[in-house]
Amino acid sequence: MKKETLYEIKAIYRDDFRVTGYTFGEGEKALCIIGSMRGNENQQLFCCSRLVARLKRLEEENALVPGKQILVIPCANPYSINTKKRFWCTDNTDINRMFPGYALGETTQRIAAGIFEAVKGWQYGIQFASFYMPGAFVPHVRMMETGYQDTELACEFGMPYVVVHKPRPFDTATLNYNWQIWGTQAFSLYTTNTARVDEESALQAEKAVLNFMSRRQLIKTRAKGGYHSEIVHSTDFISVRADCSGFLKTYVNPGQMVEKGQLLAHILDPYEGYIRSELTAPVHGVISFVGDEPMTYENTAVLKLIREKS
């Protein structure tokens, strides 16, 4: 294992900003894995820390395939992790909306440019990502629909779902999109949580990455288990929206099968405590997302479902 600083910005009043990478094996640039890019992505950082420990053991056991190089970047934004702010701590900009970056631009543009210089040119790229809405997701692999995506390749992770996402204008400045445009087969892995560490979900993600590495002949160990992935499109997700504001009380979890008409959540009046509204399943399907904010507002998507195929 080789540990090195991939990008650095000198600081005046505090420790320097550093992006640290861990390289395993030697040879062609086979796989790059990147973790937290936002300050609340503790689960994503935890997943990468597990992979660093596992790859270190595999390297010591001579279980890496010769001629292949693997790079893990656990955290791309240590300043925001340290200050517990989701976005860049001084101007609230999002590094994952700045790719491929600009070396002479604003701070987050320069950071994105420095990171992209280190991660471009790899055959495969995996990002542990988080959703813009706070809540819990069913574990899945997500790919941008750029024309370069390979859904069959994404199925090799053995995650329950492979989600193909048609990029919106702001998605074109994400790492996943630019990775693909620059020739890397890029995947975003979503585990159940973001701010809170979920060890069970992290273990599932670790196994998924190891399965992918095994099937891509990057490690000598055999792939173990996993799901026969279902391929869905992000436009197929059905949102359940709040019809009024109040405290949100949910009764379902990601991955749970529900029947049409089943009670999913109550919205409680914040002053008097009575039930203002009840939210029910519009279709028979699987819960894919559950919002975890205590308070919701009218027309906010608080749950999402994947319709069960007949």
189-235 pLDDT tens trace:
999 989 999 999 999 999 999 999 999 999 999 888 788 999 999 88
Q: Please say if the pLDDT value at position 12 is more than 80.
A: no
Domain stop point among 228, 250, 275: 228
pLDDT value, residue 225: 79
Q: Which amino acid is at 44?
A: Q
How many domains are contained in the chain?
Answer: 2
Model confidence at 299, pLDDT cuts 50, 70, 90, reads very high
Domain stop point among 228, 253, 282: 228
Model confidence at 310, pLDDT cuts 50, 70, 90, reads low
**215 and 256 together in one domain:** no
Q: Provide mean pLDDT across the span 117-139.
A: 93
pLDDT value, residue 134: 86
Model confidence at 74, pLDDT cuts 50, 70, 90, reads very high
Domain span at residue 112? 2-228
Residue recorded with tokens 């941008």: 144
CB atoms within 10 A of CB 60: 10
**133 and 258 together in one domain:** no
Locate 299 and state its tokens.
């027309």
**189 and 243 together in one domain:** no
**224 and 243 together in one domain:** no
Give the integer Cα–Cα distance in Å for 213 and 12: 41
Q: Provide mean pLDDT across the span 112-129.
A: 97
CATH code: domain of residue 298: 2.40.50.100
Q: What percent of the chain has pLDDT over 90?
A: 89
Give the integer Cα–Cα distance in Å for 27 and 25: 7
Q: Is 179 helix (H, G, I), strand (E, B) or coil?
A: helix
Q: Please say if the pLDDT value at position 133 is more than 90.
A: no
Q: Is 279 helix (H, G, I), strand (E, B) or coil?
A: strand
**178 and 51 together in one domain:** yes
The arrangement of strands across the sheet holding 28-36 comes to: 2-9, 17-24, 68-75, 28-36, 124-128, 185-190, 140-144, 161-165, 230-233
Q: What percent of the chain has pLDDT over 70?
A: 100
DSSP H helical segments within the chain, as ranges? 42-60, 78-83, 107-119, 151-154, 175-181, 199-215
Give the integer Cα–Cα distance in Å for 271 and 278: 17
**139 and 78 together in one domain:** yes
Q: Provide mean pLDDT across the span 256-279.
A: 97
Q: Provide mean pLDDT across the span 290-298.
A: 95
Locate 235 and state its tokens.
């436009």
Domain stop point among 179, 209, 228: 228
Confidence (pTM): 0.94
pLDDT value, residue 90: 85
Q: Provide mean pLDDT across the span 243-272.
A: 97
**124 and 272 together in one domain:** no
